[in-house]
Amino acid sequence: MHVLLFDPGSDQEGIHSIELAGRTVVLLFEDPDDAQRYAGLLEAQDFPVPVVEQLEREEIELFCSQAGYEARFVPAGFLPNNDEERMLIAPPQANMDVSTWKEQAAAADATAGQDQNPADPQASRDPAAIKDPELEAFRRRLEGLL
């Protein structure tokens, strides 16, 4: 399986996730090209660029269950049937502000006194934060490619 990681191998490593119906979902891509495309869509939204990493499915599912996340498998050639499934192939239009996720994670680790992965950096951010019309036009063109 392929997942999207931020700063892999560092003390501030994080995993990409999305919020679906109140659940934190980690996407497990079967096809590395699908994972890379998703990462490119995040980059187009001025999101920190994740690294596509291949991990054993059992390993990532164990991590997700221990962290209280849901692991969602995205098969190669997946075609969505509804809006929720569309989120599995394209990130939401609005993302969490991740400019300080590393600092927040370090503070959380310090207060917890444990060495854990930081909070996931992907959720939803206030849609009003996307005000650049040029960026919005670029986003629409990318969505049109889907």
Q: What is the pLDDT of residue 101?
A: 46
**Mean pLDDT confidence for 44-50:** 85
Instruction: Kindly report, residue by residue over 11-23, the tens digit of the pLDDT.
Output: 888 888 888 888 8
Residue 99: closest CA among 4, 1, 3, 6: 6
Q: What is the pLDDT of residue 98?
A: 47
Q: What is the pLDDT of residue 142?
A: 63
DSSP letter for each residue of the chain: -EEEEESTTSTT-EE--EEETTEEEEEEESSHHHHHHHHHHHHHTTPPPPEEEE--HHHHHHHHHHHT-EEEEE-TT---SSHHHHTTTS--SS----TTHHHHHHHHHHHHTS--PPPPS-S---GGG---HHHHHHHHHHHHH-
Total count of domains within the chain: 1
**Mean pLDDT confidence for 40-55:** 88
Q: What is the pLDDT of residue 61?
A: 93
Quickly state the pLDDT bin for 118 (edges 50, 70, 90). very low
Residue 28 pairs with which residues in a beta bridge?
A: 73
Q: Which domain holds residue 94?
A: 2-145
Residue 50: closest CA among 91, 75, 15: 15
Structure pTM?
0.61
Q: What is the pLDDT of residue 120?
A: 44
Does the structure show a pLDDT above 50 at 74? yes
Q: What is the pLDDT of residue 137?
A: 66
Tell me the CA distances in angstroms from 145 to 2, 9, 27, 73, 78, one per residue in order. 22, 33, 21, 22, 15
Residue 74: closest CA among 59, 56, 55, 89: 89
Q: 74 or 111: whose pLDDT is higher?
A: 74
**Mean pLDDT confidence for 56-63:** 93
Percent of all residues in the chain with a pLDDT value above 90, rounded to a whole number: 31
Q: What is the pLDDT of residue 125?
A: 41
**Mean pLDDT confidence for 45-56:** 89
Residue whose structure tokens are 């939204």: 45
**Rounded CA gap, 79 and 11, in Å?**
36
Contact 64, 70 (CB under 8 A): yes
